[in-house]
């Protein structure tokens, strides 16, 4: 316990007595990376944080599984209680993933007075608030830098160095798998299916790639970033999500000809003081914007705030090394807080009531591609329907690529700003019109202002 202190006093920080004991829940690729880093950099970590630490216990579902030699086998157990209930464990490092049983375990760990470091984005996005409230009530640390974009510092900078800003926009490439696939397509290495197989061959995409390519992984991450940026809770279920499986090489080519790259973005925008727009969708980004220069499995997150202006963070968003960097960074933060009797120093910042605007109300420009019968009045009729929906046209290109049958044109429209609801409704009408063969694509243009 600490007493009141006058800030003008020179208070020598107390030494923590004995090593801080870390218990692990889960020991897969990331966990092994964390243990490796803790052992390799032990001297540096102890010097910088001012404490000794010990890897005390590792709970796994199958303790007999062969593991990397660096994981001390004698502390591996199948009994999770040996981590979450043992009073000798000070910090629980949760690397199981998923909501349950991780949430139950961490509630018990917090109830037992343990600090928590986790890399679990789904848990954070879907059930983080009750855990953070419980941590705050107990003045316990609850850190989760590794849950978003691996090794790229984002949570800590938003909660600390940038904390005085009013953040107005978070927009990022926050899923490496889909960025790899889109980069491959951009480089002319085939269509979506080909690029996906290449990603799977390289271990960038899982055998079941749905969570990545349909945008669910990005949804968890943008929900976490938005809640910190706007200091309020985000309802993940109300975040509209659109994946990339319908993006074609043709759209990528047309976009490039028009000066854009196509990226899967998580976007969180402050619309008013209480209304926020949070969504995941592929988008056209101007090729001269730094986000467009983010290739392969790299991630990049742009923050726009007042008064800092535009700040961008870039790096590897996944993998054992980058994730271990973030987990151990969080552990060092906890170590310092324990040493200084300051745990719970930066608690959950979700203080404001936020309203998520309906997806129909999200306003952007749009890229629309459709196949029209090659007769003069069809284009005018389509333009008329767009006009009836208050959608202004910035440019229209009528093309005859070899993929389109004789007697048809491929028409690409770039609109001015329009709410998605209006575009959706216009497209529903256009699709049924005489002379309209098909709607090929409708992709947002993200101006990032």
Residue 20: what are its φ and ψ, rounded to 5°? -80, 130
- Least Å from the CB of residue 105 to its own copies: 17
The binder of its own copies chosen from 63, 190, 240, 341 (CB under 8 A): 341
Is residue 2 within 8 A of residue 341, CB to CB? The reply is yes
Question: Does 345 engage in binding with its own copies (CB under 8 A)?
Answer: yes
The binder of its own copies chosen from 194, 200, 349, 371 (CB under 8 A): 349
The binder of its own copies chosen from 85, 166, 214, 437 (CB under 8 A): 166
Half-sphere exposure of residue 68: CA atoms within 13 angstroms, side-chain side: 12
Question: Does 333 engage in binding with its own copies (CB under 8 A)?
Answer: yes
Alpha-carbon span 46 to 24, nearest angstrom: 19
The binder of its own copies chosen from 46, 52, 156, 194 (CB under 8 A): 156
Q: Which residues pair with 399 in a beta bridge?
A: 410
Q: What is the CA radius of gyration of the chain?
A: 25
Q: Which is nearer to its own copies, 49 or 178 (CB)?
A: 49
Write out the binding residues for its own copies, residues 253-272 only, by CB under 8 A.
none
Q: How far is CA 228 from the centre of its chain?
A: 12
Which among 219-227, 233-241, 257-265, 330-338 is the span making contact with its own copies, rule CB under 8 A?
330-338
Return the structure tokens found at 193: 């299916």
The binder of its own copies chosen from 35, 84, 105, 115 (CB under 8 A): 115
Question: Does 3 engage in binding with its own copies (CB under 8 A)?
Answer: yes
Among the residues of 169-258, which ranges form H helices?
A: 176-186, 192-201, 210-213, 216-229, 249-257
Question: Does 47 engage in binding with its own copies (CB under 8 A)?
Answer: yes
Residue tagged active-site, from 114, 221, 253, 263: 221
- Element housing 81 (H / E): helix 81-84
Question: Does 296 engage in binding with its own copies (CB under 8 A)?
Answer: no
Is residue 333 within 8 A of residue 159, CB to CB? The reply is no
Site string for its own copies, 362-401 (x = CB under 8 A): ----------------------------------------
Question: Does 5 engage in binding with its own copies (CB under 8 A)?
Answer: yes
Question: Does 174 engage in binding with its own copies (CB under 8 A)?
Answer: no
Q: At how many degrees (to 10) do helices 176-186 and 192-201 cross?
A: 130
Alpha-carbon span 355 to 271, nearest angstrom: 10
Question: Does 344 engage in binding with its own copies (CB under 8 A)?
Answer: yes
Write out the binding residues for its own copies, residues 15-34 only, by CB under 8 A.
15-17, 20, 33
Q: Helix, strand or coil for residue 282?
A: strand
The binder of its own copies chosen from 75, 99, 139, 383 (CB under 8 A): 139
Active site residue 221: yes
Alpha-carbon span 247 to 367, nearest angstrom: 12
Which among 215-223, 273-281, 333-341, 440-448 is the span making contact with its own copies, rule CB under 8 A?
333-341
Is residue 33 within 8 A of residue 320, CB to CB? The reply is yes
> Where in the sequence numbering do the catalytic residues fall?
221
């Amino acid at each position: 316990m600490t007493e009141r202190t006058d800030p003008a006093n020179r208070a020598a920080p107390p030494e923590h007595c004995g090593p801080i004991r870390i218990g692990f829940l889960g020991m897969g690729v990331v966990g092994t990376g964390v243990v490796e880093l803790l052992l390799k950099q032990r001297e540096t970590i102890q010097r910088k944080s001012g404490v000794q630490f010990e890897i005390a216990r590792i709970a796994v579902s199958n303790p007999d599984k062969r593991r990397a030699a660096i994981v001390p086998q004698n502390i591996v157990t199948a009994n999770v209680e040996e981590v979450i209930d043992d009073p000798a464990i000070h910090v629980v490092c949760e690397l199981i993933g998923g909501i349950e049983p991780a949430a139950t375990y961490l509630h018990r760990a917090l109830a037992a007075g343990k600090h928590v470091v986790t890399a679990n984005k789904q848990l954070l996005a879907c059930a983080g608030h009750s855990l953070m409230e419980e941590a705050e009530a107990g003045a316990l640390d609850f850190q989760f830098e590794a849950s978003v974009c691996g090794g790229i510092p984002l949570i800590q900078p938003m909660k600390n160095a940038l904390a005085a800003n009013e953040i107005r926009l978070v927009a990022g490439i926050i899923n490496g798998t889909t960025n790899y696939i889109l980069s491959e397509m951009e480089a002319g290495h085939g269509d979506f299916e080909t690029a996906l197989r290449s990603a799977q061959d390289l271990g960038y995409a899982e055998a079941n790639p749905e969570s990545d390519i349909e945008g669910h992984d990005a949804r968890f991450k943008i929900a976490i970033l938005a809640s910190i940026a706007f200091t309020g809770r985000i309802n993940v279920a109300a975040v509209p999500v659109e994946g990339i499986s319908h993006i074609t090489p043709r759209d990528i080519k047309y976009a490039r000809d028009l000066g854009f790259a196509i990226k899967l973005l998580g976007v969180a925008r402050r619309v008013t003081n209480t209304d926020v727009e949070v969504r995941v969708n592929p988008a056209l980004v101007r090729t001269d914007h730094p986000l467009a220069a983010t290739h392969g499995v790299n991630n990049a997150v742009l923050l726009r705030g007042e008064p800092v202006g535009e700040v961008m963070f870039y790096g590897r968003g996944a993998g054992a090394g980058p994730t271990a960097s973030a987990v151990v960074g969080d552990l060092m933060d906890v170590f310092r807080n324990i040493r200084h009797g300051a745990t719970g120093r930066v608690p959950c910042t979700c203080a404001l009531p936020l309203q998520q605007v309906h997806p129909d109300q999200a306003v952007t420009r749009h890229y629309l591609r459709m196949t029209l019968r090659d007769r003069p009045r069809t284009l005018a009729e389509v333009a008329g329907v767009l006009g009836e929906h208050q959608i202004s046209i910035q440019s229209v290109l009528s093309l005859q690529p070899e993929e389109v049958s004789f007697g048809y044109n491929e028409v690409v429209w770039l609109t001015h700003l329009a709410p998605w609801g209006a575009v959706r409704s216009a497209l529903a009408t256009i699709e049924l019109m005489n002379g309209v063969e098909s709607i090929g694509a409708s992709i947002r243009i993200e101006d990032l202002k």
